[in-house]
Structures are given as structure tokens and as C-alpha cells.
């Protein structure tokens, strides 16, 4: 796929998202509005919704070699509260990768809510990465509504780097036998940032598999809330469903609230859930320091090890490496000096 898409003239020349790498094609939403239709014959169509938002249709049987990156940016031309809807539809037997990014281009206190419907037809495979990287005075709530048909596969990774108040609400319904849904998330919060994650995973039919792994690192007076429900219907035998939420607290003022839940009405299932919160391992820090590693570097290494198993689930290697670099820069505090910048080295 080769989308010859130029930067929208209304987007300042200073903005160049540095996440996309070779094999990534870009399209833009500016304040919720997509500027033009994009159609790749026999592969996909990306077009605006009626008033705002977008819809992506991956055609049946299409195998997309490149990643489509959809970048949602907000700027000072529209600072009103904004809500818009998006749809991702993956045709029967298709295979594709989507990268969704959110950015801010000014320091206005944006309030954004976006609804994203994700529909996977029989046998389709989709890898979706969501990167949230807005300035720390903005708020964004993203509502994901997922429906999966027979033998479909979805892996979605949500990487939350910046934002004053972030909300990620995921509702997934496995409606066809053999469906597989993997949800992974990483959130890094400090200062007075807040993030809330809610997952409602519903197994409606037999022989489906779901897994969830969400991890967070909290510093200063930040706050995180995780609520996760796995629901297995009466006829959904042979279900396998797993859920885990782990948090690392770097400050005594940071707070995390976790509520993992199981609601099972079938008797032949494998299901588990768990949540932990803790602090840096003092013994491991002592061991690294005894080997000549400074305290700050030892703390960083332990944090990077903590988040590694989330980042490694990003299947695009070049994208994974770039996001690892952003996460490391974030943990090193390299963005802390940019208090008047809205872009966080995106």
C-alpha cells in the first residue's frame, strides 16, 4: 500500500510525528475532521464520517503490508469540547495493522471524547496500537467497542504517555467460535495526572480465548484506576480468559485502585485474574549498585524491565523500538523540561 498523502496545509510545518517509520502511511484528523477520502483499490478505504471522525474499511481478503497511521491532532482553531465517532471494519480473511495517535499542538485545555467501533469479520486478523501523547493539561476519553466474529484475531496495545486525565473504556464481545482477543496497556503518569482503564470482556460462544495485561508506573501525586470484568456466558464452554493488572508506585503519594472481576456461568473454562501494586525492589537496587550502577540508572533499569513484557507485544519491530525509546525518555524525565511545549517530542 502506498498512500501519497501530504501533510494537511493547516497543520504547522513544525509538527512531524516521529513515530512513523518505513512501512507506515499517514492520514490526519484535525479537531476531529478528516480532510479527504483515501482509497487503495482492492485494499482499503478511509473516509470521513458524516460530520466528524472517520471510518476505515479493510476489504475482504486484503493483506496490507504497510501500517496505516491515523493521527488525531487538536489545535487552537477549535478549543471547544469535542466528541466524535470512528469505525474500523476488517473484512473476512483480511490482515492489517493500524496505528492510532493522539496529539496536541497548543497548550489549550482540550476536552476530547472519541468513540471507536471495531468490527472483525470471520477469519480477519488486526493489530492495533494506540498511542496517547497529549500535553498534561488536556483530557481525552476513548471508548472502544469491539465485536469479533468466528476465528478472528485482534491484538490491541494502548500506550499512554501524556495527558492530564485519560480514560480508556474497552467493551469486547466475542461472538464467533475461535475468536481471539488480546488487550495490552501501558500507562506512565506523574504530577497530578489521572488515568482510568475499564475493560468489559464478554465471551458469548464456546472455544474463544482472551487475555489482558495492563501495567502502570505512577509517580508524584498521580492516580490510576483499573476496572476489569471477564464475563463468560452459559453456553461459552472451553473458554480461556486471563486478566492481569500490575502497578509500580514510585511515590508514597501516588495512588492506584484495581478491581478485577470474573462472572462465569459456564463450567468448563480456564479463567484467572489478578492485580498487584508495589514499589521498586530495594534488594535488586542494592545488587545493581554493588555492580557499579548509579542509583538513578538502577531505578530506570528496573522500571524498563517492568514494562518490557507489554511493549514486546507490539508486533511491528520498528514501531516497538521507537515506542521503547519514547517510554525510556519519558521515564528519564527528559520531557519534564518542556513545560511550555504541547507536543512531548512526538
What pLDDT tens digit does each residue of the chain (346 aa) get? 444 433 344 455 445 565 556 777 788 899 999 977 788 888 999 999 878 999 999 999 999 988 899 999 999 999 999 999 999 999 999 999 999 999 999 999 999 999 999 999 999 999 999 999 999 999 999 999 999 999 999 999 999 999 999 999 999 999 999 999 999 999 999 999 999 999 999 999 999 999 999 999 999 999 999 999 999 999 999 999 999 999 999 999 999 999 999 999 999 999 999 999 999 999 999 999 999 999 999 999 999 999 999 999 999 998 999 999 999 999 988 755 445 445 555 4
Cα gap 171→103, rounded to integer Å: 24
Query: Residue 344 burial by CB count (10 A; 0-12/13-18/19+): exposed, middle or buried?
Result: buried
Strands 44-48 and 38-40: antiparallel
Q: Whole-model pTM?
A: 0.92
Residue 31 grid cell: 479537531
Largest CA distance in the chain: 62
Residue 258 grid cell: 484495581
Cα gap 333→330, rounded to integer Å: 5
Residue 204 grid cell: 458469548
Residue 223 grid cell: 492516580
Residues above pLDDT 90, as percent of the chain: 82
Amino acid at each position: 500500500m502506498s498512500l501519497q498523502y501530504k501533510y494537511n496545509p493547516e497543520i504547522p510545518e513544525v509538527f512531524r510525528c516521529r513515530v512513523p517509520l518505513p512501512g507506515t502511511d499517514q492520514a490526519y484528523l484535525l479537531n476531529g475532521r478528516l480532510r479527504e477520502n483515501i482509497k487503495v483499490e482492492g485494499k482499503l478505504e478511509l473516509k470521513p464520517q458524516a460530520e466528524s471522525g472517520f471510518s476505515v474499511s479493510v476489504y475482504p481478503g486484503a493483506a496490507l503490508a504497510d501500517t496505516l497511521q491515523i493521527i488525531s491532532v487538536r489545535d487552537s482553531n477549535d478549543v471547544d469540547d469535542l466528541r466524535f465517532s470512528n469505525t474500523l471494519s476488517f473484512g473476512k480473511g483480511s490482515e492489517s495493522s493500524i496505528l492510532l495517535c493522539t496529539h496536541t499542538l497548543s497548550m489549550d485545555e482540550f476536552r476530547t471524547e472519541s468513540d471507536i467501533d471495531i468490527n472483525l469479520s470471520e477469519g480477519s486478523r488486526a493489530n492495533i496500537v494506540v498511542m496517547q501523547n497529549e500535553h498534561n493539561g488536556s483530557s481525552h476519553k476513548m471508548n472502544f467497542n469491539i465485536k469479533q466474529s468466528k476465528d478472528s484475531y485482534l491484538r490491541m496495545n494502548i500506550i499512554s504517555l501524556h495527558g492530564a486525565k485519560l480514560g480508556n473504556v474497552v467493551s469486547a464481545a466475542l461472538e464467533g467460535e475461535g475468536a481471539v482477543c488480546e488487550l495490552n496497556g501501558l500507562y506512565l503518569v506523574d504530577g497530578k495526572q489521572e488515568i482510568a482503564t475499564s475493560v468489559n470482556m464478554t465471551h458469548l460462544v464456546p472455544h474463544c480465548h482472551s487475555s489482558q495485561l495492563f501495567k502502570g508506573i505512577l509517580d508524584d501525586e498521580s492516580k490510576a484506576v483499573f476496572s476489569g470484568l471477564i464475563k463468560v456466558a452459559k453456553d461459552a464452554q472451553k473458554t480461556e480468559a486471563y486478566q492481569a493488572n500490575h502497578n509500580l508506585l514510585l511515590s508514597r503519594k501516588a495512588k492506584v485502585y484495581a478491581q478485577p472481576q470474573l462472572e462465569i456461568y459456564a463450567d468448563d473454562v480456564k479463567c484467572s485474574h489478578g492485580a498487584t501494586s508495589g514499589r521498586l525492589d530495594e534488594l535488586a537496587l542494592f545488587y545493581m549498585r554493588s555492580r557499579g550502577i548509579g542509583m538513578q540508572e538502577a531505578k530506570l533499569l528496573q522500571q524498563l524491565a517492568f514494562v518490557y513484557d507489554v511493549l514486546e507485544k507490539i508486533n511491528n519491530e520498528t514501531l516497538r523500538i521507537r515506542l521503547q525509546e519514547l517510554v525510556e525518555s519519558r521515564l528519564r524525565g527528559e520531557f519534564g523540561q518542556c513545560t511550555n511545549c504541547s507536543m512531548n517530542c512526538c
